[in-house]
Chain A
Amino acid sequence: MTTNGTNGKESENRKLCIICSKGSLDMAYPPLVLANAARMSGIDVDLFFTFWGLEMICKDKMKNLKVPTVGNPSMHIPTMLGGLPGMSTVATTMMKREIEKLDFPEIDEFIEMLSDAGANLYACKMSMDMMKLTDEDIIEEAEIIGAMEFMEMSEGAQLLFI
């Protein structure tokens, strides 16, 4: 394997697996941005959506992820204020505006773009059972697999838990 990159082969065989476990808007972007950067560099990508991360690929939820203002240490506002009605909506609107300025797509479009870019999308079977979700509830690009299967396919890959 070359490292000088003169022929773009340095990414060959490199694989990145990202476990997406959060369903809030501010925690949905990091795995998607990293996955996209990897695909743009020719690195193979598997995304495994588990627990609240499943909401990123749920048809009726993926468009409506919110920035939580309570218990979110990045908010820099007193928790009591964060709990006021409408605070989460304000924070979500603000974040969406900033993301749009950077020309980043919204979550549903981002996921579609990653699928088109050849990233593999997997839904955690156990989490789906726990949340009483069926394959009708998630986008058709995602395949439902168990954690053990994910372990098998991620062998030798670089792994990220977000």
Chain B
Amino acid sequence: MTTTATRDILDTVEFDEGGFMVDPHAWTPEIAEAIAEREGLELTERHWVVIHFARDEFAKNGEAPTLRRITKTTDVSTKEIYKLFPGGPAKVAAKIAGLGKPTGCI
């Protein structure tokens, strides 16, 4: 169920066919909350560990980190990341972090 406030924020953002943000630089934490709500997720502190890490890596390298890099570098384990982002953590986390569709295989 999306609230009116969420719909208003999402209306200002451009998404591609897959539901990924077209311009990662337009991302804000409020947009992340709104996308998460659309995905049926309520963001906790642990979600933010992953989202902030992905954003930092994107700022440094210009691309989203692989799941393996996230689980190797942060204290979020593989088991936990699958629980945090059900329905495919690579895709769901990238969507919420405002990054493009992940291209890595790992």
A residues within 8 Å of B by Cβ? 4-9, 11-12, 33, 36-37, 39-43, 102-105, 113, 116-118
* B 61-96 binary contact with A (CB < 8 Å = 1; else 0): 000001111000000011100100011111110010
Can you sample 9 A-B contacts with CB below 8 Å? A4-B19, A5-B17, A6-B18, A7-B40, A40-B89, A41-B88, A42-B86, A42-B87, A104-B106
The CA-CA distance from A134 to B95 in the complex, in Å, is: 44
Residue of B nearest to A3 (CB): B17
Interface size on B, residues (CB 8 A): 26
**B106 pairs with A7, CB closer than 8 A:** no
Q: Which 6 A-B pairs have the closest CB atoms?
A: A42-B88, A40-B90, A116-B78, A6-B19, A42-B87, A5-B18
Contact of A6 among B15, B66, B69 (CB under 8 A): B15
B33 at the interface (CB under 8 A from A): no
Contact of A103 among B18, B40, B82, B106 (CB under 8 A): B106
Quote the shortest CB–CB distance from A158 to chain B (angstroms). 16
Residue of A nearest to B15 (CB): A6
Contact of A9 among B66, B87, B102 (CB under 8 A): B87
Residues of chain A contacted by B69 (CB below 8 angstroms): 103
Contact of B105 among A6, A36, A42, A43 (CB under 8 A): A36
B57 at the interface (CB under 8 A from A): no
Residues of chain A contacted by B38 (CB below 8 angstroms): 7
The CA-CA distance from A43 to B66 in the complex, in Å, is: 18
Residue of A nearest to B17 (CB): A4
The CA-CA distance from A41 to B87 in the complex, in Å, is: 7
Residue of B nearest to A114 (CB): B78
Residue of B nearest to A9 (CB): B87
Residue of A nearest to B101 (CB): A5
Contact of A117 among B78, B92, B105 (CB under 8 A): B78
Residues of chain B contacted by A8 (CB below 8 angstroms): 19, 39, 87-88, 91-92, 95
